[in-house]
């Protein structure tokens, strides 16, 4: 699981799970557009089917679309075949709408088993985690808590995790709005996960 990369470049990858969502994903896109930043969206297949235009829009704006399975299951509890189907089905959807296959993967709940590893190795996906798990934005712990924990994790090569889908994401949007503004002022480049991985590979 990759939570950060070692780099001398002042770059951070901000990621969003469980979208696309018709209410919150557009707000995230707007926040990043204003600061010329790029994000990575780990999207769920079922949500992609409900909001195909948002997938296209995010991709057109230069954001990265990552694979987050089709139904958001605990992969460690699935058979090899079911695990493959969850990942393959979403991969096909993303390729159709974004014009290219996803190249990064995040397992739901950051949960996986040996079969998951078999499938993602076969597909060549790096498995992406994050450093700010204690922010627990999905539990709506308050904007300040999300910000405080996330700020404390920021350094060159950090990957941060937030959610733009499932439930009320107002706190997340507010925290991300502040964080993106702060990081930009501090001179950080907001890049996709793949761009971050490439920085590691080239430095």
In a domain, 6, yes or no: no
pLDDT of residue 66: 98
**202 has pLDDT over 70:** no
pLDDT for residue 199: 87
163 belongs to the catalytic site: yes
Number of separate domains in the chain: 1
Q: Are 146 and 172 in contact (CB under 8 A)?
A: yes
In a domain, 188, yes or no: yes
CA separation for the pair 166, 161 (Å, rounded): 14
Q: Per-residue confidence at 27, pLDDT binned at 50, 70, 90?
A: very high
In a domain, 20, yes or no: yes
Domain membership flag for residue 67? yes
Residue at 153 is within a domain = yes
What pTM value is reported for the model? 0.97
pLDDT band at 47 (very low <50, low <70, confident <90, very high): very high
DSSP string, 43-72: E-HHHHHH-HHHHHHHHHTT-EEEE--SS-
Domain presence at residue 104 = yes
* Residue in 17, 115, 137, 164 annotated catalytic: 17
Whether the per-residue pLDDT at 149 is higher than 90: the answer is: yes
List pLDDT tens digits, range 67-81: 999 999 999 999 999
Does 1 map to a domain? no
Out of 63, 68, 72, 163, the active site residue is 163
User: Hey, which residues does 11 pair with through a beta bridge?
Assistant: 189
Under the banding of pLDDT at 50, 70 and 90, the label for residue 101 is very high
What's the mean pLDDT in 103-115?
96
Cis peptide before 20 (omega within 30 of 0): yes
Q: What is the pLDDT of residues 1-12, one digit of tens each?
A: 999 999 999 999
Model confidence pLDDT, tens digit, residues 161-187: 999 999 999 999 999 999 999 999 999
Half-sphere exposure of 174 (CA within 13 A, CB side): 13
> Which residues are bridge partners to 190 per DSSP?
12
Q: Which domain does 163 fall in, by range?
A: 11-202
Q: Above 60 in pLDDT, residue 203?
A: no
- 15: nearest Cα among 50, 66, 59: 66
We report the CATH number of the domain holding residue 161 as: 3.20.20.370
**What is residue 201's predicted lDDT score, i.e. its pLDDT?**
59
Instruction: Count how many residues are written for the chain.
Output: 203
pLDDT > 90 fraction of the chain, expressed in percent and rounded: 97
Q: Strands, E, within the chain: which ranges?
A: 11-17, 40-43, 64-67, 159-163, 189-191
Flag whether 139 is in a domain. Answer: yes
Active site residue 17: yes
Mean of pLDDT values over 91-119:
96
């Amino acid at each position: 699981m990759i939570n950060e990369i070692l780099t001398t470049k002042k770059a951070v990858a901000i990621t969003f799970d469980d979208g696309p969502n018709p209410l919150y994903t557009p707000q995230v896109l707007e926040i990043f557009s204003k600061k010329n930043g790029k994000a990575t969206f780990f999207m769920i297949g079922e949500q992609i089917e409900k909001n195909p235009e948002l997938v296209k829009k995010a991709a057109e704006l230069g954001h990265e679309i990552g694979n987050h399975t089709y139904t958001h299951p605990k992969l460690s509890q699935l058979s090899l075949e079911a695990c493959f189907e969850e990942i393959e089905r979403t991969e096909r959807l993303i390729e159709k709408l974004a014009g290219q296959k996803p190249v990064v993967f995040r397992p739901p709940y950051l949960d996986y088993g040996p079969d998951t590893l078999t499938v993602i190795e076969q597909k060549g996906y790096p498995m992406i985690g994050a450093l700010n798990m204690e922010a627990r934005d999905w539990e709506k712990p308050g904007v300040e808590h999300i910000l405080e924990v996330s700020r404390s994790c920021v350094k060159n090569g950090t990957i941060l995790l937030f959610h733009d889908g499932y439930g009320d994401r107002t706190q997340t949007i507010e925290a991300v709005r502040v964080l993106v503004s702060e990081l930009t002022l501090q001179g950080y480049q907001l890049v996709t996960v793949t761009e971050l991985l490439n920085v590691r590979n080239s430095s």
